[in-house]
Amino acid sequence: MSKNPVVAVCGATGAVGREMLKVLEQRDFPYSEIIPMASYRSAGKKVPFKGEELTVVELTENSFEGVDLALFSAGGSTSEKFAPIAAKSGCVVVDNSSAWRMNDECPLVVPEVNPHDLDWHKGIIANPNCSTIQMMVALKPIHDEAKIKRVVVSTYQAVSGTGQKAIEELENQVRRLMSGQPVVADVYPHQIAFNCLPQIDVFMDNGYTKEEMKMVNETVKIMGDPSIKVTATCVRVPVFYGHSESINIETEEKLSADDVRSLLSKAPGIIVEDYPEKKAYPMAINAAGEDATYVGRIREDETIANGINMWIVSDNIRKGAALNTVQIAETLIERDLVRVP
């Protein structure tokens, strides 16, 4: 590929869309044109990009003529409708919704983990769920070395994962409680301020939430290994940015805590922050705005033969969404998988 692609950012006015534009700018992504798109309600709005203002155009069935690469973060139903239209017109779609993740025709990719899956794409590539991505980055080096049999994960997820309205809801609830007023819950079914909600997304028939089953099913697809068993409890906590995860792993081969620290220190996308003597460990407030997946509290679990506990934190809007999407786009270009006429 010699020419740079024309890139559409669909859902450009949302929290993740805006972050995508920021990431494209920061990483000096190669493009010949950037076209922000959104629904008719947001068309005409301006979004900042490289010191200029780009005008948002309406996303329609005819939007993708001349577009080579489209980064979608416009919700599941928009992706379901427009991603196939874009793909049909020859555009490669990287989609951040859950619409295409478990579709056999669509690779589900974390570039540090399974970039090779991009090679069989048919026009639509799915970006995994935020809580899955950071877990995959941290688990892949361990799986390669010692084969992971089972993962028990409990999450501590930030409200920004739900979107801008949830950020405002937490802020408003905190303000009201601090001035002795009753709170209103609109975005979440219950008060999130100073509370933990053991429900993310809707409940399935098996008693698990959709978010929990995403972690179970997406892990198998990304790792390309149906033998990895995951059981998850997903919890929303009153944090603005940064998902934290408490993870217990059982491996086939024995790894010491030092082995894991050493493996992860060399792995792409990971910063090991594990200095108990300095009270240094990954925290949401430090991960916010950063690209890395932070891993700490690494210790052997003596209750099983080959067990490891650890604590994984990453910015759910960056690595969990916008950054991973852009990294997929970069990897597509590197592997010459985007056709630019």
Site of tokens 């009201």:
176
Q: Using the rule CB under 8 A, is 305 a contact of its own copies?
A: no
Q: Give the H or E element holding residue 47.
A: strand 46-49
* Among 39, 231, 262, 306, interactor with its own copies by CB under 8 A: 231
- Residue 157, marked binder: yes
Look up residue 165 and give its two tokens: 């309205």
Q: Which among 132, 133, 189 has a CA at the least distance from the CA of 166?
A: 189
Q: Answer for the pair 162, 317: CB distance below 8 angstroms, yes or no.
A: no
Backbone angles phi, psi at 303, to 5 degrees: -80, -10
Q: Using the rule CB under 8 A, is 57 a contact of its own copies?
A: no
- Residue 160, marked binder: yes
Cα 109 from Cα 71, distance rounded (Å): 14
- Residue 89, marked binder: no
Cα 293 from Cα 289, distance rounded (Å): 11
Give yes or no: 10 in active site: no
* Among 178, 182, 226, 341, interactor with its own copies by CB under 8 A: 178
Count of residues engaged in binding its own copies, rule: CB under 8 A:
54
Among 10, 91, 106, 130, the active-site one is: 130
Q: Using the rule CB under 8 A, is 78 a contact of its own copies?
A: no
Q: Using the rule CB under 8 A, is 154 a contact of its own copies?
A: yes
Give yes or no: 121 in active site: no
Judged by beta carbon, residue 56 or residue 317, the one nearer its own copies is 317
Q: Using the rule CB under 8 A, is 156 a contact of its own copies?
A: yes
Exposure of 183 in the CB half-sphere (CA atoms within 13 A): 22
Residues in the chain: 341
Q: Computed from CA positions of residues 121, 226, 149, 314, in that sequence, does the dihedral angle turn out positive or negative?
A: positive
Q: How far is the CB of 48 from its own copies (least distance, A)?
A: 22
Which residue numbers belong to the known binding site for substrate? Answer: 157, 236
Catalytic center residues = 130, 243
Give the interface with its own copies as residue ranges (CB under 8 A). 150, 152, 154, 156, 171, 174-175, 178, 189-191, 194-199, 203, 206-208, 229-231, 233, 235, 237-240, 244, 246, 248, 257, 276-277, 279, 281-285, 296-304, 307, 309, 311
